[in-house]
Every structure is written in structure tokens, then in C-alpha cells.
Amino acid sequence: MTALPPRLILASASPRRRELLGQLGVPFDVMAADVTEHEESSTDPRVMVAHNAALKAEWVAVRNPDAIVLGADTTVFIDGHALNKPRDVADARAMLRRLSGRTHTVFTGLAVRRRSDGLQLDEGVASEVTFKVLDEATIGAYLERVHTLDKAGSYAIQEHGYLIVERYDGSLTNIVGLPLETTKLLLTHCGLLA
């Protein structure tokens, strides 16, 4: 009799992360962590996303000690500050103006936890995105097409990105919210992928 593979839980309510993780072909459950994320914009973004990813993974792992739990957090970083999710449409518009014609970094922290044996893996991924120069009409057209209030930096590269993005360097899936290359390595280490 073969042992069942360990249960994987994605500690995120993000539909984008759910969709991306599904591409790896590993069965998983979803449980959103009920935590207050650290979002002080002046915090080092690598520290912020690592902290928040671990916070989410730990919260779910405590409640599911035998499961392998994957937590993730993503932010946009420019001018020494993190651009997290906008407060409202005016804030979203201001963020897009700030990113216009410039290059910024997208950081994602990944945390894997399993309480039963103390498994603890942490990784960070960075990608760079360069925006086109955006006029007010383009910003307005983008905000009409894309719901940006749940997105760091007020944009989603996979949703009408051609309107705003000139180019990117690094992992595209990182920019979307879950770097699949690194996630695959972590899950392979845990025995969930061959």
C-alpha cells in the first residue's frame, strides 16, 4: 500500500495565485490566512514580503500541522517605498502616474511550513518591470478595464498589460504574484513534485 502524498494548502485568497499554482499539476486546497499583514511602505520590501508570506503560512500550518503550507506575498517597489494595494481609485491613479515611464521591482516572498516535522523553507524572487510613459487617458482606460484595488502597485501585467508595460526582466509569474519556477523547486524539495 503506497502512502498518500502530503496535503498541500495554499495560504492565500488570491485567485491569481490559485490559478498559477494549478499549472504545476499538484492537488491543493486553499485556506486564506486571517492575519494582519505588515504594509509599512518604508520597510525593506524583501523583509516585508518574507514576513507576510511566513505569517500567512504559519497561521494556516498551526491549524493543519500535517499539511505542507505555501504562503506568498508580493509588492511593488520604487523610490525606496513599497506600493501595496491602493486604498481607492484616486490612490490607484496616483500609483500608475508614479510608475509611468520608469522601472520598478516586483518582490515576492515565499514560505513553506509544516508544523508536524518543523519543515521551514523561505525564498524571495525579484523581477523588474518598465512602464510606458502613461498619459491621463491611458491611465483612465486601464482603470476602466482592470479592477486594481486588490493588486500591489495598482496593476496586473496579465490584464491589458500591453496598455502600460513596455518590458519586463525576470519571472513573469512572479510579477503576477507566484513565481512558478521557484515554487516548483520548493515543492520538489518537499516531495510533492518529482
Please give the backbone phi and psi of residue 175, each rounded to the nearest 5 degrees, phi first: -65, -35
Taking the alpha carbons of 84, 95, 172, 77 in that order, is the dihedral positive or negative? negative
Give CA–CA dist 76/106, Å, rounded.
5
Q: Name which of 7, 3, 29 is nearest 119 in CA terms.
A: 7
Give CA–CA dist 22/123, Å, rounded.
20
Q: Kindly name the residue from 29, 66, 73, 91 that is annotated as catalytic.
A: 73
73 catalytic? Reply is: yes
Measured CA to CA in angstroms, residue 189 lies from 37, 112, 172 at distances of 27, 10, 22
Query: Which amino acids are annotated catalytic?
Result: 73
